[in-house]
A and B are shown apart, each in its own frame.
Chain A
């Protein structure tokens, strides 16, 4: 992208050692690593709950989990994966990559960055320990609709507190990212010169600032309904439980895009690198990201078609939702066009990125199907919806996270990951993911409801297949942990620039591994035309 001008990375490495290094750190790379390790831990915690669910559903009947505990498993699986695994993982990527990609020395608010992270283990502890309090963990689903959530025990209060803390952490993280991107870019780097990952995070951060306070308000209203005699969501007191659904999904739908836009950003970095071509339609990618973000704020009620709504409302939310396919289609077109006639190679990051495109499109299409009111009324609360959002969140967000991790591991650790094992990880994930979730489309269309520990006999075969797939998928992820640890401990240094098609600042201007302090002097940035 530009030539190296002078010494652009630091030389002093004085910081506390041992555990205090991590407690006190204000370094974006340390904090990024902590975010990533935290999210990986939460990924396995949520995964353990998922395997509990799938073990119970392996056969009809109640075998392992009592129904109440099963409900807690589904609830906490969703909450932990969304707020504990996927979101912090993307913030970890932002912490590591945004300063390096824009030529900044660190995040704008370094101390607040430390605070944003250290709130997370507190919230996670509340969520996990709620299993062991009287009444058990929250069991009303990850969407915690009243009246179930106004009736639960102490576990629900712990969940509400955890969501408050996670929301505060996310808002601080988002403000930090916005401020860093808008104020700390290398001289000469205009907004339209920024790498796509930075753009997608800028837009995501605005979405976070917009909707996280709404979530905080919602759970606060829930809390006052539970303990302070209000009746926001209690029909007997003049309130309305459907109000909760509106407010929750006004947060919840943009939240979906909060979890996928940074994934678009990662894939938009990887596809050009391994196609050895600039990204096709850079500006339209930026526009499409912004359009998706705006549209995401006007489609929330498509989650509530069966809750009761005038026809005008149903049609409005149906049309608006279906129109999201336009900017999303632009993105898929651009990724495909970037690969067109490129000198492609298929290292692990590229495999995960292509797997992302292929499977995300399936999830996107089933989303358009769910957007159609008469179909949605049929598939509402069935396994079809479960299949749909796991195609978007697992093979979408999670695959992009894996792609990004493999892509930047050499830059972060200074060592190369094991390519053969990486490919094994991809193919095992790809196969077992589809075994787990593709059959759930059939289960849903056949009428199997979600969030049930037992089911009618006609659903037995597909459930068994899905459970086998889930255990295969879960086990395959242990391979990822092994690959990462092997990479960190490797004695062999990675090449300075292992990806010859990479053009962003962290590859062109920084040594591998990236020094603890980078870009203390801003680099001179020379834009390339997109």
Chain B
């Protein structure tokens, strides 16, 4: 983990793309390698947690639409 401090910071878009790909479980190999090179673990964790919240909110919205 010690090498992570030297990593260049990834853009928000790249983190969002990586997290969304992770939710489905599919990612192109070249994108994965670029993710591994640029995204810090802390970015993945924060992105993943926000993705989780977004996931819950999305299902809630769908449910609300259906119920109404």
Contacts and interface: CB of A to CB of B under 8 A. Distances in A.
B27 A284 contact: yes
Contacts of A315: 63, 66-67
Given A287-B22, A319-B62, A190 B52 contact: no
Interface of B: 1, 21-27, 29, 32, 36, 41, 48, 51-52, 55-56, 59-60, 62-64, 66-67
A343 interface: no
Q: Binding site of A, secondary structure by majority: helix, strand, loop or mixed? A: helix
Interface in A285-343: 285, 287-288, 290-291, 294-295, 297-298, 311-312, 315-316, 319-320, 323, 326-327, 330-331
Contact of A312 (B1, B22, B27, B64): B64
Nearest to A328: B25
9 contacts: A281-B25, A283-B29, A283-B32, A284-B26, A291-B25, A294-B52, A298-B56, A323-B59, A330-B26
A178 B5 CA distance: 20
Contacts of A326: 24-25
Interface of A: 182-183, 190-192, 281, 283-285, 287-288, 290-291, 294-295, 297-298, 311-312, 315-316, 319-320, 323, 326-327, 330-331
Given A287-B25, A330-B26, A319 B59 contact: yes
Nearest to A190: B36
Contacts of B63: 312, 315-316, 319
Nearest to A314: B63
Given A284-B25, A287-B27, A298 B32 contact: no
A192 B41 CA distance: 11
Given A284-B26, A312-B64, A316-B60, 6 more contacts: A281-B25, A283-B27, A283-B29, A287-B23, A294-B51, A298-B52
B1 A320 contact: no
B16 to A, nearest CB: 14
A291 B1 CA distance: 22
A288 B26 CA distance: 9
